[in-house]
Structure 1
């Protein structure tokens, strides 16, 4: 009877979330735009390589898409905290629609040069960089605190579907209509995503205006966000450190997977495709588990983060010893599941503990840090695979993920003390009155 009651409670929780029209519209837009983005990632690289026949010119696309989050992320948060989140997301989607559609249009009229293509890619990346903080700042404004883990898991599932279906769809489109025209699909996806956001009702948090100049006010706002993270709420800072350290290892693993498949597991292209799919399936499985279950208290969330990081690290450690594709796929699915658990849990914790007027700034800093650590992971573990061998690189990745687990466990006693102090404050205030 007790188990039946628990099942009913869990079912009621996710059903209530799906009945929310704001969540439904936001999720629909994310699914469409993420699948379109998956199409674009393959089509754009293919197009540049076909246009230039240069691997370097092709890889510069990735560099141009990486620079904006590293350089402008925190400043984007400053601006986004002062504007309406719904309007910002619509403007960003419409801007990306026009910029991506411009690439095949210019190509059709023989006006697309490589510098123009790079400029369009860079400006698109600037708008894409701003969308993440806007979305993460909007989510706590439209759902209750106890639903934050579920809604973050839901948004993560949209991204994972884009990773699963986008590249496959891109290959079909490139073969059918060519790489330039395939970019229209991504442009159309962003346009549909913008339309999906029109019915949203997102409350606006008004920030106090001052007589300072625009630049001085921006510096003050950024300083306030940095002080909140690094001084006033160091638990959030430590959560960011854990997530960034984990990203260091997980991103390195994703980019190393073809090398692992070839030089350690000795599998062909078809089997490698299955292994890559198992990574996404692991993320989806973790997403479904989070969506089904009730959001745990923050200190228990830290235990889940620690367990996920430890399980992911152990799976990486054991992977070279797997004796079949099925065993390797199961381990890689476990690695994907660890990532699938950590990202929504950390995001929900940041959203829960951050004042609504600081959300975009906090996530701007968080995204910048995560991107920086991801870049370091790709570079360091890629170098290690070439210089020392992929087995040593995997050992390093496992060590990083186990270190993330150890850091999280060390933070848990501090989390408990802070939670106890917060619980005692109302009682102290009542005694004082």
Structure 2
């Protein structure tokens, strides 16, 4: 690997690790703050939904912007916007405006900026590294998120023993600014591809038409939509409800549970790197879907916070198998000029459906046991993996 590529990989990894550690702390702080203020799983679900709605509303157009604009500048703009928005949350709390719907609005705006960042990042990576290294590069970069989601919650758990939850939002804002500073040192491609002169709507239609013509990629994204309807709500809303109401845990306990999931995901990243070249990306992705779901159902039998930590660690192992293989499939099988639009569709499938899933879990846990929710949803998500393994065109994706 050339010196410039090594430097870019290190800078991208550090920038992602730092900003995603802030993300982990922010998500923990936001959901626990709302659950503590309202004592309502329904309102907590609605707030979680608001934080992911922008992907549903603007997600596809974010991909068009990524394909038309300088992706690097779009990443910088997004990080700056997220930092400034999240700073507003502790400010309004310090001035005594403890209005949950105002916090909901800030969460929505912050997510709007993040919706721009993800397709820009995933489209920018193939511009920095050669195709033959893409799978390994993705496997390395995805570990930044797992390290971040392990360190962030543990760090938050320690901080919550000495500071109020408001200060966690300041740490998130600082993480975005530090990540932004690191991105500025990346050696950029000399030539950015010039977009064709079409309207945004025309380019969106072109991207959708291309997706429909690529049946394996199309069905992979459809299954991603369905799987995330099962998985994401429990991950965002179900876990804090499980820890607080079913296991009588504290905010620190929730932080350590989240950290254990990230620790499992870090182990999964090592596994997926070892599987590269031995199994097709399609098989790795399908196995990840199955593990992601079936391990969630184990939480039905969680009787303590400590047992939940072990179970959620096992759940975390499947996450990178899904993420690395899916990202690599799109980057390797499709032209870079479509990557912004295609990754915005994946982001829509992952984050957009999180909005719906979070709201449904918030409502569901107000009616039935949260453990029963995990059991049913885990089995449903595991079936997505089994179905994927049974479809040859998905199973054979390299």
8 Å CA contact 2:297–2:376 kept in 1: the answer is: no
Deviations 1:380-430 (A, max 9, x none): 4555555454564344223322321233123324665x88xxxxxxxxxxx
8 Å CA contact 1:30–1:159 kept in 2: the answer is: yes
The Cα of 1:336 is off from its aligned counterpart by 1.7
Q: In 2, Cα distance between the equivalents of 1:323 and 1:95?
A: 41
Distance 1:18 1:308, change over 3 A: farther
1:367 maps to what in 2? 347
**After superposition, where does 1:37-76 map in structure 2 within 5 Å?**
37-44=23-30, 61-76=47-62
1:223 maps to what in 2? 205
8 Å CA contact 2:4–2:187 kept in 1: the answer is: no
**After superposition, where does 1:107-186 map in structure 2 within 5 Å?**
119-170=105-156, 172-173=158-159, 178-186=164-172
The Cα of 1:129 is off from its aligned counterpart by 1.4
Q: CA RMSD in A?
A: 3.8
The Cα of 1:123 is off from its aligned counterpart by 2.7
Q: In 2, Cα distance between the equivalents of 1:371 and 1:333?
A: 22
The Cα of 1:160 is off from its aligned counterpart by 2.6
Distance 1:413 1:242, change over 3 A: same
Q: In 1, Cα distance between the equivalents of 2:129 and 2:380?
A: 34
Structure with higher RCO (Cα < 8 A, 6+ apart)? 2
8 Å CA contact 1:244–1:374 kept in 2: the answer is: no
Of residues 194, 207, 212, the one that matches 2:194 is: 207
1:199 partner SS: coil
The more displaced of 83-92 and 271-280 is 271-280
Of residues 260, 272, 276, the one that matches 1:290 is: 272
The Cα of 1:66 is off from its aligned counterpart by 1.7
8 Å CA contact 1:25–1:196 kept in 2: the answer is: yes
Distance 1:189 1:257, change over 3 A: closer
In the alignment, is residue 398 of structure 1 matched against residue 378 of structure 2?
yes
Q: Rg larger in 1 or in 2? A: 1
8 Å CA contact 1:147–1:295 kept in 2: the answer is: no
Q: In 2, Cα distance between the equivalents of 1:193 and 1:407?
A: 39
1:206 partner SS: coil
The more displaced of 235-244 and 272-281 is 272-281
Q: How many residues align?
A: 393
Calculate the TM-score normalised by the size of structure 2: 0.82
8 Å CA contact 2:79–2:180 kept in 1: the answer is: yes
8 Å CA contact 2:50–2:108 kept in 1: the answer is: yes
Q: In 2, Cα distance between the equivalents of 1:381 and 1:24?
A: 38
In the alignment, is residue 250 of structure 1 matched against residue 231 of structure 2?
yes
Of residues 169, 173, 179, the one that matches 1:187 is: 173
Q: In 2, Cα distance between the equivalents of 1:218 and 1:37?
A: 30
Q: In 1, Cα distance between the equivalents of 2:319 and 2:338?
A: 26
The Cα of 1:347 is off from its aligned counterpart by 1.2
In the alignment, is residue 377 of structure 1 matched against residue 357 of structure 2?
yes
The Cα of 1:351 is off from its aligned counterpart by 1.5
| Structure 2: runs of 5+ lacking an equivalent | none
**After superposition, where does 1:247-286 map in structure 2 within 5 Å?**
247-254=228-235, 255-257=237-239, 275-286=257-268
8 Å CA contact 1:17–1:147 kept in 2: the answer is: no
Q: In 2, Cα distance between the equivalents of 1:168 and 1:252?
A: 22
1:429 maps to what in 2? none
Q: In 1, Cα distance between the equivalents of 2:17 and 2:272?
A: 18
Calculate the TM-score normalised by the size of structure 1: 0.76
Of residues 289, 297, 317, the one that matches 1:337 is: 317
